[in-house]
Chain A
Amino acid sequence: MMRRTATLLLRQNGSGVGGGIPQALADVLVCPLSKKPLRYCEASGSLISDAVGVSFPIVDGIPCLVPKDGKLMDQDQKESEDCTRILPTTNEK
């Protein structure tokens, strides 16, 4: 069963800059290129698309999901321990 972005993201305390992303976004956001779920990387405050190995920044609380603004991650970044491995939650809205 495909994991939805919502199960890959954990809502941090509060919303906004550096605090994860709000549930409303987690419920519907996917990678604009692959349309697959995104993962939130706490260290960089960005959204990761594992399907295509691209990371998208969040600027001033606004996710920047324009395809051409995505950054290709190199192998090191993909395996980095800095990005919190988020466990699926049962926190379905």
Chain B
Amino acid sequence: MAFLHSHATSFGYKQVPEEQKSKLVGNVFSSVASSYDLMNDLMSVGLHRLWKDRLISKLNPFPGMKHLDVAGGTGDVAFRVLERINSVSHRAMQGTLPYTEEDTQIYVCDINPNMLNVGKKRASERGYKEDNFLSWIQGDAEALSFEDGSMDGYTIAFGIRNVTHIEKALSEAYRVLKRGGRFLCLELSHVDVPLFKEIYDVYSFSVIPAMGELVAGDRQSYQYLVESVRRFPNQEKFAQMIQEAGFARVEYENLVGGVVAIHSGLKL
């Protein structure tokens, strides 16, 4: 039987053949795309905004940079990078900058076209002219369509746990970054703090799927979400994987006791 010989990977707590995982993940995100932003706010009690802000300040964007945000279809991270760059530009108007603001390019890559369409729509609602600074590409984190050494920065926020082969995504991130480029990953992680861990578990397994049912009409997708977080490697293990992909100065920062972690690395 083919199943016995194929590799299995985790989809939440279900073991599924590898080929199926990306299809199942795809279905999850087509389903969640429209209520994605609202659910993020509800599940994290608005905290995801602060977490993304923290991600951007660690990134330290600069005018003229080429930045790739992966799995960021709806544009949350991309808009923050742009806004940060705009504010840096204005503050630096007095002095001379090595790059002009016009060279700034933010590439948003997502495997799901629904998420990208939401992002594009939000971009125009915010008054960003089409194709000015922002580019939207449908692509696979495991096989990026960007040239070697083309990016100053790479971010992936709440996306890497959905990738079938994390090592491939990490080595692709390494490939597309320039020397001196930075890798940053914001992801749900592992809580070890006693008592808080138990509360967090109850919240995750009871409250979140119910919220998913109520708000998005989709309990199953949010059940998957919660399970995928538990199956994802812990902070130390993930840091090790980033190092194995070739990154140097790998470190991580826990937020809210490890509910989320920001891992970073440098391509030397």
- What is the interface residue range for chain B against chain A? 20 to 34
Is A63 an interface residue, CB under 8 A from the partner? yes
Would A22 and B131 count as touching, CB distance under 8 A?
yes
How many residues of chain A get a CB closer than 8 Å to chain B's CBs? Answer: 26
Interface contact tally, CB-CB below 8 A: 72
Would B140 and A64 count as touching, CB distance under 8 A?
no
Which of B44-52, B145-153, B217-225 is the interface stretch? B145-153
A65 to chain B, nearest CB (A): 4
Which of B89-97, B112-120, B193-201 is the interface stretch? B112-120
Q: What's the Cα separation between A68 and B111 when bound, in Å?
A: 11
Is A51 an interface residue, CB under 8 A from the partner? no
Encoded as 1 (CB less than 8 Å from any A CB) or 0, chain B from 51 to 77 comes to 000000000000000100000000000
B265 to chain A, nearest CB (A): 21
Would A35 and B138 count as touching, CB distance under 8 A?
no
What residue of chain A has the Cβ atom nearest to residue B143's Cβ? A32
A49 to chain B, nearest CB (A): 9
Encoded as 1 (CB less than 8 Å from any A CB) or 0, chain B from 157 to 191 comes to 00000000000000000000000000000000000
What residue of chain A has the Cβ atom nearest to residue B23's Cβ? A68
B145 to chain A, nearest CB (A): 4
Is B139 an interface residue, CB under 8 A from the partner? yes
Would B138 and A62 count as touching, CB distance under 8 A?
yes
Q: What's the Cα separation between A68 and B23 when bound, in Å?
A: 11
Would B138 and A29 count as touching, CB distance under 8 A?
no
Give chain A interface residues in 21-60, CB to chain B under 8 Å. 22, 24-25, 27-33, 35, 59-60
Give chain B interface residues in 120-141, CB to chain A under 8 Å. 120, 130-131, 135-140
A6 to chain B, nearest CB (A): 10
B92 to chain A, nearest CB (A): 22
What are the residues of chain B within 8 A of A28 when measuring CB–CB? Answer: 66, 105, 107, 146-147, 150-151
Would A25 and B137 count as touching, CB distance under 8 A?
yes
Would B145 and A62 count as touching, CB distance under 8 A?
no
Would A59 and B113 count as touching, CB distance under 8 A?
yes
A binding-site residues for B, Cβ under 8 Å:
4-5, 15-16, 22, 24-25, 27-33, 35, 59-69
Other than the given A32-B140, A62-B120, 17 more pairs (CB < 8 A) read A24-B107, A25-B135, A25-B137, A27-B150, A28-B105, A28-B107, A28-B151, A29-B137, A29-B147, A33-B143, A59-B113, A61-B120, A61-B130, A62-B117, A63-B145, A64-B113, A65-B137
B binding-site residues for A, Cβ under 8 Å:
66, 105, 107, 111, 113, 116-117, 120, 130-131, 135-140, 143-148, 150-151
